[in-house]
Structure 1
Amino acid sequence: MQGHLSAIADAVEGLCDSDLTGLSDDELTDTMRRLEKTLRRASVVGHNLIVETVERSLPGKLGHKSLNKLLIGVLRISAADASVRVTAAKALGTWHALSGQSIPADLPETAAAQRDGDIGADHARAIREAIRKIPHAVSSSDVTAAEQILAELARSATPEDVEKAGHTLLAHLNPDGNLTDERDRKRLRGIRLGRQVQNLMTPISGHLDPETRALLDPILAKWARPGMNNPDDPESPTGAAEHPGVDRDQLAAAAGRDTRTAPQRNHDAFKEALRALLASGILGSHRGLPVTAIITMTLDRLEHATGVATTASGGTLPIRDALTMAQRSHPVLVLFDHNGRPLHLGRSKRLATADQRLALIAADGGCTRPGCDAPATMTAVHHIHDWSKGGATDIDALTLGCDGCHALIHDGPGGWHTRTAPEGTEYAGHTEWIPPPHIDPDRKPRVNHRHHPKVILERARRKANAHKYADTMSRREQPQRPTGSDGADEIP
């Protein structure tokens, strides 16, 4: 194995240093094809490594909650990438029974095509998605035939072509759409919230099961009625249209002014329903705090009424929207001064456990383990120095950690440790996590900047300026080359 890896490294080194200008047009495209085929085949090795890692129970031995967490820690890849790799390995890898006998892959023809280098990860993903959507009522022989057809097509087509062919196959296998049963609905249900994009909007998609749809329809019928809950109309009634407190004439007048589309009315109704749910208090508490919106902002942004505020769940919203929310009773507003010191916690009682958590939410933003993007709503308060070993429950000795990362802190193999960065260091006062040897043999302390992107940008800017300054000084210190009488360089 080591010899093969060394050969790959040497080959890649040679390819990186190769001069491509001497290749003809045909040779250039042929090189692209050969390299792509090799990279596709290499992904099979990745599947086998994941299989071996699982069958050795290596994540548990090294203190990781899941295989995904191990891949993220060892390879420094994104959570999405780790999920994609694990999913692919489950369907395409060669697994083994307890006896050691190989188990055929879930998608054997697809696995063979990838091993041959004829298809890539996107082809395989398109095939998996098509097979996943086939109803359980379809016979196994038909499912096997469908996978064979798609895998063969993928050897000579694009992933988009495979996706379209998958839709055609689904229509052929279930032309009347009547083969879907309860198992399929349970498998397909879900609501996906995407990441906030640059305009602060969040994409949402998914599938509702029949019961959820039946529950949602009457809510939208009352809350999304024309004229109701219109944020652009200050005289628009709020809440449910059939509520006794709603003035019928006022509603009729608001409906006449309502120019929103049906999707926009659904959105506004959904927002108002969530606002009413949070204000009701029926959700109780979550990790020691009432279930509510927790908003943090800095003093300079408040003074200028520009920029964005952050929420405990990791989201962002414009300052004006944050101030509007703060006028209501249920959100908690945390205000920081220019130096990051809390000025206002939106609370009237003295500092207590709940208020300590509020301060940590505002200061840490989420789990402090490097690489973890769990927002504050998914974390617990953690003693930087273990309470059982004399750690104090003081605000400067506490930090936030999600349940999965908190479990990584132990004295056994693969255990992480935490400490507060000492004075005089770059991130003094921040929580440092010391990784186990299999993550970093040098065990260099790390700080999580996922929840503070401005810190990362500032650090990158300083490094870029330092490199630029060093390059400038290096050029100045280099001796000038002597030139001939005609200005040309002299040849020694």
Structure 2
Amino acid sequence: MERALRRAGAVSHRLVVESVERSLPASFGYRSPHKFLVDVLRISAADASARVSAARQLGVWHASTGESLPAALPDTAAAQRNGDIGADHARAVSRILRKIPHAVDADDTKAAESTLARVARDGTPEDVEQAGHRLLAYLNPDGNLGDDIDRTRRRALTLGRQDTELMSRISGELDPTARALLDPILAKWARPGMNNPADPSSPTGDAEHPTVDSDVLAAAAARDTRTTAQRNHDAFSAMFRAVLESGILGRHRGLPATTIITMTLEQLERAIGGVATTASGGLLPIEDALALAEQAHPVLVLFDHDGRPLHLGRRRRLASADQRLALIAADGGCTRPGCATPASMCAVHHVTDWQKGRTTDIDGLTLACDACHARVDDSAAGWVTRTAEGRYPGRTEWIPPPHVDPDRRPRINHRHHPGELIDHARRGMRAPREGGDAVP
């Protein structure tokens, strides 16, 4: 069974290659094969990305003349086609090869791939990692073969998703220029006593600014029990606030570049417990949201639209800032089913095309990211949007094209409204109980 599963992975690579070479994603209106796989196969974005990446390295591609080209990792690809190695083995080989400096001879790199593929045939993915580290030490014993091309390839900054405690992990690597720019900033903003959220008397901003009292800073530093990592974090937080408040970011999609927070009236009245949502898709404890609002100018979005110019008729095609604020609070993000793009990255979309006589009124507008917005058209591969009735009145339904669902059943995006799924599940659990049946 394991050998068959490994061989099936190689078949998957072949099908991904064929779909790309036949331009299937583009013919159905997709900008990348990743989005095509997500919709058609209903897999996660991470899974789709992994499949496409594996196909690029292990698949057999073709020249414009139809001639087969060797795989980027030929020996690794052959081992998977034979069922000798699995996807984890192949990923381990790829990770090691990416670390080989650009200056290493191409023949040596090819020999390293063959060696690691042989190790993979006989061992585990962990064995490949261990052997790879030894190979890297052999190919670059002095550690001095890295150049600007390698540094450019490695530079990265990844912001992870929020965990159950609403914390987000940052990982990545800074190139020499970015590091040189960051060091003096942290030396001033992350100095002991500066920008300490736990100390109301702690000075904020730049430690060398003329308005900072040296005696106050010294006293705050004496009370400062934070680690270096915690001071760096607080310095980043203070810099983010300073950049947003400075106005240098200008406007973003019709609104000032700022933090937009949505909460319910009950949360505002209680002022404790629960979480608010941001236009970028993040979650924020109510207490922290209210603390941010103390230094901001909040806009109250009233869904009865009293006193707000939310109905513009045919006079204007583009949505107003007020309408966009209301949609951020109501939709939370892109409304196409399965899309997780937050509201800050979305455009305002007419549910019925404005060119077809639709007015620019709040009950006919919705949010859609640029990629999903471009897929709404009258072609055979286009999606159709309409305003929902029944269980989710007023929400936007997306009707998929036949290649996604031959029955073209309307869909609602619950990604930005997880409470709806929870409420639906609870109603389903109560129904048997009310009828006298036991609930497992």
**Same fold? TM cut 0.5:** yes
Q: Distance in 2 between matches of 1:445 and 1:56?
A: 29
Judge conservation of contact 2:6–2:87 (CA < 8 Å) in 1: yes
Query: Which residue identity does 1:443 align to in structure 2?
Result: R
2:157 paired residue number: 191
Tell me how far 1:187 sits from its aligned partner: 1.0
| 1:69 pairs with 2:31 | no
Judge conservation of contact 1:68–1:83 (CA < 8 Å) in 2: yes
2:132 paired residue number: 166
Aligned pairs for 1:35-434 within 5 A = 35-304=1-270, 305-329=272-296, 332=298, 334=300, 341=303, 353-422=320-389, 425-434=390-399
Q: Distance in 1 between matches of 2:219 and 2:305?
A: 44
The alpha-carbon distance between structure 1 residues 171 and 466, as it changes in their structure 2 partners (threshold 3 A), is: farther
Tell me how far 1:333 sits from its aligned partner: 5.4
Partner of 1:135: helix, strand, or coil?
A: coil
Of 298-307 and 141-150, the range deviating more from structure 2: 298-307
Tell me how far 1:301 sits from its aligned partner: 2.1
Q: Distance in 2 between matches of 1:244 and 1:95?
A: 63
The alpha-carbon distance between structure 1 residues 186 and 333, as it changes in their structure 2 partners (threshold 3 A), is: farther
Q: Distance in 2 between matches of 1:230 and 1:349?
A: 39
The alpha-carbon distance between structure 1 residues 335 and 320, as it changes in their structure 2 partners (threshold 3 A), is: farther
Q: Distance in 2 between matches of 1:459 and 1:238?
A: 46
Tell me how far 1:461 sits from its aligned partner: 3.1
Judge conservation of contact 1:47–1:89 (CA < 8 Å) in 2: yes
1:445 paired residue number: 410
Deviation readout 1:165-212 (Å, 9 max, x if unpaired): 222222221122211111111111110011100000001100111111
Q: Distance in 2 between matches of 1:107 and 1:428?
A: 52
How many corresponding residue pairs? 429
Query: Which residue identity does 2:344 align to in structure 1?
Result: T
Judge conservation of contact 1:296–1:333 (CA < 8 Å) in 2: no
The alpha-carbon distance between structure 1 residues 343 and 271, as it changes in their structure 2 partners (threshold 3 A), is: farther
The structure with the larger Rg is 1
2:313 paired residue number: none
Deviation readout 1:218-263 (Å, 9 max, x if unpaired): 1101100000000111100000000000000000000011010001
Partner of 1:169: helix, strand, or coil?
A: helix
2:422 paired residue number: 457
Tell me how far 1:469 sits from its aligned partner: 7.4
Of 449-458 and 73-82, the range deviating more from structure 2: 449-458
Partner of 2:263: helix, strand, or coil?
A: strand
The alpha-carbon distance between structure 1 residues 218 and 349, as it changes in their structure 2 partners (threshold 3 A), is: farther
Partner of 2:220: helix, strand, or coil?
A: helix
Q: Distance in 1 between matches of 2:339 and 2:300?
A: 23
Q: Distance in 2 between matches of 1:106 and 1:468?
A: 59
Query: Which residue identity does 1:374 align to in structure 2?
Result: T
Of 180-189 and 45-54, the range deviating more from structure 2: 180-189
Q: Distance in 1 between matches of 2:78 and 2:2?
A: 16
Deviation readout 1:22-51 (Å, 9 max, x if unpaired): xxxxxxxxxxxxx12211110111101100
Deviation readout 1:352-394 (Å, 9 max, x if unpaired): 8111101101110100000100011110000101011111111
Q: Distance in 1 between matches of 2:435 and 2:393?
A: 26
Q: Distance in 1 between matches of 2:126 and 2:267?
A: 46
Tell me how far 1:472 sits from its aligned partner: 3.7
Partner of 1:230: helix, strand, or coil?
A: coil
Tell me how far 1:410 sits from its aligned partner: 0.8
Query: Which residue identity does 1:455 align to in structure 2?
Result: E
Tell me how far 1:459 sits from its aligned partner: 2.1
The alpha-carbon distance between structure 1 residues 353 and 211, as it changes in their structure 2 partners (threshold 3 A), is: same
Tell me how far 1:164 sits from its aligned partner: 2.7
Tell me how far 1:413 sits from its aligned partner: 2.4
The alpha-carbon distance between structure 1 residues 226 and 371, as it changes in their structure 2 partners (threshold 3 A), is: same
Judge conservation of contact 1:297–1:335 (CA < 8 Å) in 2: no
Q: Distance in 2 between matches of 1:357 and 1:289?
A: 8
Which 5+ residue runs of structure 2 have no aligned equivalent? Answer: 311-318
The alpha-carbon distance between structure 1 residues 467 and 171, as it changes in their structure 2 partners (threshold 3 A), is: farther
Tell me how far 1:63 sits from its aligned partner: 1.2
Deviation readout 1:440-486 (Å, 9 max, x if unpaired): 0010110001111111222233345557778949xxxxxxxxxxxxx
1:483 paired residue number: none
Partner of 2:72: helix, strand, or coil?
A: coil
Partner of 2:83: helix, strand, or coil?
A: coil
Tell me how far 1:303 sits from its aligned partner: 2.8
Partner of 1:309: helix, strand, or coil?
A: strand
Q: Distance in 1 between matches of 2:232 and 2:323?
A: 37
Q: Distance in 2 between matches of 1:364 and 1:278?
A: 24
